[in-house]
Chains A and B, each alone.
Chain A
Amino acid sequence: MFRIPSEPRKNWQQKAKDFGFSFHSMYGEPYWDESAYYQFNLQQIENDLEDPSVEIHQMCLQVVDKVVNNDALLSAFKIPEPFWQGVKDSWRKHDPSLYSRLDFAYDGSGPAKLYENNADTPTSLYESGFWQWLWLQDLVDGNQLSRQADQFNSLQEKLIGRLHEIAGHYQTEQIHFACCQDTIEDRGTVQYLQDCAAESGILGPFVFIEDIGLGESGRFTDLKNNPIETLFKLYPWEFMQREEFGDYVESSQTNWIEPLWKSVLSNKALMPMLWKMFKGHPNLLPAYFEDELHLCDHTRIVKKPLFSREGANVSILEKGQEIAHADGPYGEEGFIYQAFHPLPKFDNNYTLIGSWLVNDQAAGISVREDSSLITQDMSRYLPHIILG
């Protein structure tokens, strides 16, 4: 695994414009960065990232199975009680899931260590599935990269296939897509999924989360008053469950993507639960609930809110003293603790690997860099290749 400087494509910004990649730079800071790329060999990809991702996903499903059958655990996961039955039902009915992203610390050797599982609303999907694919294609076509160069990235292909399967499962030709207003990144992610849906022959109307209505029939409606039967929502379950329309989540009979049972996985309580069930697994870091902190004998630990996005409210503690901290609005539902395992450094950048799954299949990786140990949403996205 190397970080290799690279000549940016001359026309990449125009290209980004043509393809509607509007959030490549934000507030003057670059987000998409092709002045370098990461190079992996095939063994690193297959043995150290792909296989463990599939295995961890299966372990996570075992956690879901355990949690949905145990009310004390549902409570420890801070899932509001009115949703317990819905979570159980959606798990027992095998409501299909679309995708998730596992975040790993990995430096090219040894086991990748799992930081967390973004199983409900992962972003950086467009950059991963399409934009870095196009980058590689362009560099190979322009003889800047060897024809042998490949990329671990079958995301788009698999998303198209999976959306088709989900539409088939619910016997529908239409999936509504939703995200919040005023976030061009989320809108871009959802537009990407709409494009994938269109490519698989599914109608994909869009509605903002804030515009969703409740119809006389009891179903949710879009702005044209059409009933929403199947909804992809880039909006976290833990928010929806605590909002006014949360009361209608079940009675609306909506087919949800991601399904309700994903609220077990997108929750940081997953980490101590994995450690309890698979203690010592090479890809796991020791992790503890708040009431188990006495079991933790690590000098450096990371404190994470149960619900958090993009590194917000994460702090790093050394012998109980905070040595790094990221601000944020989260934490009221409590915290979990994870043994500190630093991100590897490449040329002064801390590097985080996101490993994508579409349903239960490994589908590619994304690489993000931050100048801080805590990767946040202003980190930069770098492309990668496989060679050798």
Chain B
Amino acid sequence: MTRKRSKHINLNRMRKQFSAKPLAIGIASVFLAACTDNRQQATIYTSAQDCANENPEQAQVCATAYQEALAEAERTGPKYNSEQDCESEFGPNQCRQVERSSGSFFMPFMAGYMLSNLLSPNRYQYQPMFTSYSPYSPYRYRWIGAGGYDYGDLRKRNYKVRPDAFKPKPAVTRTIKRGGFGSSVRAKSSWGSKSSSKGGWGG
């Protein structure tokens, strides 16, 4: 007999009370575990020195890649209007102020960088990595890419990743203005039946 209803629903995903599992962890497992043959070895280092310690022959590449990752971190890393917002995501003293001609904002320090193909100096690839020390953040003690991907526990350093893990991430931009959507709702709500209705602008 063919059933006309969903065969299976993941109840753990739907449960809201006990499972505060952040979304990103599920993604990371897809990202890392989607086993295809083109995955490549990648290692996360916390500093250029950390990289050089493990790859003494490649100290120069470690240093260059670190600088490149820093620049990439500034371009694509998370940005906040206030230090408080940044610290609540990344922890106390984990954020710095960045000044731009268009204004200033706060972003977390780069906590490390992921490197691949270190041994072929012209083709090495890098990505900045962040982590959080905030007890309020699902990213606490985890490696997070600029795009929000959760690579796993801070203690884990060696990964097999798909090549697109190194694709440049879209730049985070400054927001010029907010609040340009939603005025119709304010207008229609003032019509006054909200107290007796569930509200909502769906149908």
Contact = CB atoms under 8 A, between A and B. Distances in A.
B38 interface: no
A18 B171 CA distance: 38
Contacts of A296: none
A23 to B, nearest CB: 6
Interface stretch (A55-63, A65-73, A183-191, A337-345): A183-191
Interface in B151-194: 170-185, 187-188, 191, 193
B184 A239 contact: yes
B181 A201 contact: no
Contacts of A156: 6, 9
Please indicate which of the listed interface residues A31, A134, A212, A240 has the most CB atoms of chain B within 10 Å of its own CB: A212
A179 B166 CA distance: 33
Interface string B10-30: 110111111000011011001
Nearest to A126: B14
B78 interface: yes
A194 interface: yes
Contacts of B6: 129, 133, 153-157
B4 interface: yes
A217 B23 contact: no
A5 B86 CA distance: 54
Contacts of B79: 224-225
Given A173-B27, A221-B175, A121 B183 contact: no
B173 A123 contact: no
B3 interface: yes
Classify the interface of chain B: helix, strand, loop or mixed. Answer: loop
B87 to A, nearest CB: 14
Contact of A198 (B23, B105, B187): B23
Contacts of A179: 201-202
Interface stretch (A229-237, A274-282, A287-295, A317-325): A229-237
A386 B173 contact: no
A182 B130 CA distance: 33
Nearest to A189: B202
A185 B177 CA distance: 28
A182 B176 CA distance: 25
Contacts of B13: 195, 198-199
Given A203-B148, A214-B180, A377 B172 contact: no
B7 interface: yes
Contact of B175 (A225, A242, A329): A225
A213 B182 CA distance: 12
A185 B202 contact: yes
Given A185-B202, A215-B173, A248 B180 contact: yes
A309 interface: yes
A130 B14 contact: yes
A78 to B, nearest CB: 14
Nearest to A21: B16
A243 interface: yes
A378 B196 contact: yes
A225 B173 contact: yes
A250 to B, nearest CB: 14
Contacts of A101: 203
Contacts of B185: 180, 209-210, 235, 239
A199 B29 CA distance: 12
Given A213-B175, A244-B180, A20 B17 contact: yes
Given A154-B4, A327-B193, A377-B197, A216 B202 contact: no
Contacts of B123: none
A264 B7 CA distance: 34
B181 A210 contact: yes
Nearest to A208: B182
B74 to A, nearest CB: 13
A323 B79 CA distance: 57
Contacts of B179: 210-211, 244
A272 interface: no
Contact of A213 (B176, B191, B193, B199): B176
23 contacts: A18-B18, A27-B195, A118-B202, A121-B203, A122-B203, A123-B203, A150-B5, A173-B147, A180-B185, A185-B198, A186-B202, A198-B27, A199-B13, A203-B23, A215-B176, A225-B173, A235-B181, A239-B184, A243-B184, A245-B180, A248-B180, A309-B201, A310-B197
Interface of A: 17-20, 23, 26-27, 31, 42, 45, 101, 118, 120-123, 129-130, 133-134, 136, 150-157, 173-174, 179-186, 189, 194-195, 198-199, 201-205, 208-217, 219, 221, 224-227, 229, 234-236, 239-240, 242-245, 248, 266, 309-310, 327-330, 364, 376-378, 386
Shortest beta-carbon contacts, A-B, top 4: A245-B180, A20-B16, A123-B202, A213-B175
Given A173-B147, A186-B201, A211-B178, 12 more contacts: A118-B202, A121-B201, A179-B202, A203-B24, A203-B148, A225-B81, A225-B172, A225-B173, A227-B170, A227-B171, A227-B172, A327-B193
